[in-house]
């Protein structure tokens, strides 16, 4: 299946980002650790940071081209927004094509870090925190499809951001959180069976009114109380936090299973002040021997995937060079 061309979903996402303004900004302790490529593990058990890149900025390119850009820029993983690959849903990507996608990743020395923007359309009409039984059933059914898609690509994480699909709709925030927890329970066993963790992503209040801080995300994960339901950290979505990045990372470290990084404006690294502002955070991660993914997720695609990948990696290396 060719992935050339941009689908309407990409336009919808850009519209969402545009109307939302600039994007500023689990309960068990064990996590799945993917193998490091081309790294020598130190006696302390920690080798280096593992970087991945989200694929939306390359949506107009073929899968092979996307993977090659990521690999050439020295990332070890690619994180997938499934809506960029389909017209109606992941059911379009048959088993043979999924195997081919894995083969392409392996051929250039990268792997699938997982999925994000899980419920962004297509398909349309999904909502995870709704009291509407029919909508909830449709959403959960598709969520199970996403779990299998992620598992078939050997991904280990599903990042639950999807602000529009978890917003309150004529119900209270507490009711929305109740539905959030209940529906996570319904998919947790399946995720665990496929070796996947579903990670609740705190998002700024500018984009959603449901779960805006790490504390709220952790509370929800603990409410679900399942090893497949955990949390993650996103630099640009810390706008509603009251503590610095490094303090937050140390405080919630044992629960954090994934990290998204970008400039606070949502642009690629190197266009802002991240090279200085994120040093303490990366030092904390190094001190703590963080060995899970740090994934580049940007919201301004205009520079093109190749430039975004290369310039951001250059900045990540600059940050690393200052660490002790």
Residues of the chain with pLDDT under 70: 1-46
The DSSP H or E segment spanning 112 is: strand 111-116
Q: Are 207 and 162 in contact (CB under 8 A)?
A: no
How confident is the model at residue 193, as a pLDDT?
A: 98
pLDDT (tens digit per residue) in 45-76: 667 999 999 999 999 999 999 999 999 999 99
Helix, strand and coil content of the chain, in percent to the nearest 5, comes to 45, 10, 45
Taken as a whole, the chain contains a residue count of 324
Residues ≥6 apart with Cβ < 8 Å to 302: none
How confident is the model at residue 36, as a pLDDT?
A: 34
CATH fold for domain 48-321: TIM Barrel (3.20.20)
Percentage of the chain with pLDDT > 70? 86
DSSP 219: H
How confident is the model at residue 8, as a pLDDT?
A: 34
How confident is the model at residue 261, as a pLDDT?
A: 98
Q: Output the pTM of the full model.
A: 0.86
For the range 90-97, what are the long-range contacts, defined as Cβ-Cβ under 8 Å and sequence gap of 24 or more?
Answer: 90/145, 90/146, 90/149, 91/145, 92/1, 93/1, 93/149, 95/152, 97/1
How confident is the model at residue 45, as a pLDDT?
A: 60
Closest CA to 148 of 176, 111, 103, 187: 187
């Amino acid at each position: 299946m060719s992935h050339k061309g941009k689908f309407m979903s990409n336009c919808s996402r850009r519209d969402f980002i545009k109307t939302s303004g600039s994007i500023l900004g689990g309960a068990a302790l064990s996590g799945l650790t993917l193998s490091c490529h081309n790294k020598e593990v130190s006696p302390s058990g920690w080798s280096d940071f593992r970087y991945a890149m989200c694929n939306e900025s390359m949506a107009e390119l073929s899968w092979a081209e996307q993977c090659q850009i990521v690999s050439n820029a020295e990332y070890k993983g690619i994180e997938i927004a499934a809506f960029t690959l389909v017209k109606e849903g992941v059911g379009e990507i048959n088993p043979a094509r999924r195997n081919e996608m894995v083969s392409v990743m392996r051929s250039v020395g990268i792997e699938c870090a997982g999925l994000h923007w899980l419920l962004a359309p297509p398909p349309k009409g999904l909502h995870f925190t709704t009291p509407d039984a029919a909508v909830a059933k449709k959403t959960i059914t598709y969520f199970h499809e996403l779990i299998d898609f992620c598992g078939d690509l050997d991904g280990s994480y599903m990042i639950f951001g999807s602000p529009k699909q978890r917003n309150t709709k004529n119900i209270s925030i507490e009711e929305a959180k109740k539905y959030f927890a209940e529906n996570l329970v319904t998919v947790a066993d399946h995720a665990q069976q496929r070796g996947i963790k579903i990670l609740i992503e705190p998002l700024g209040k500018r984009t959603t009114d449901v779960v805006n801080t790490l504390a709220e995300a952790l509370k929800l994960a603990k409410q679900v109380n399942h090893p497949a339901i955990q949390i993650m950290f996103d630099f640009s979505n810390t706008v509603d936090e009251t503590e610095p990045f490094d303090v937050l990372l140390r405080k919630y470290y044992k629960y954090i299973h994934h990290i998204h990084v970008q400039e606070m404006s949502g642009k690629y690294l190197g266009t802002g002040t991240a090279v200085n502002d994120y040093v303490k955070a990366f030092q904390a991660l190094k001190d703590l021997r963080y060995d899970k993914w740090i994934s580049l997720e940007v919201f301004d695609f205009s520079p093109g995937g190749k430039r975004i990948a290369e310039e951001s990696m250059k900045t990540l290396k600059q940050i690393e060079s200052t660490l002790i």
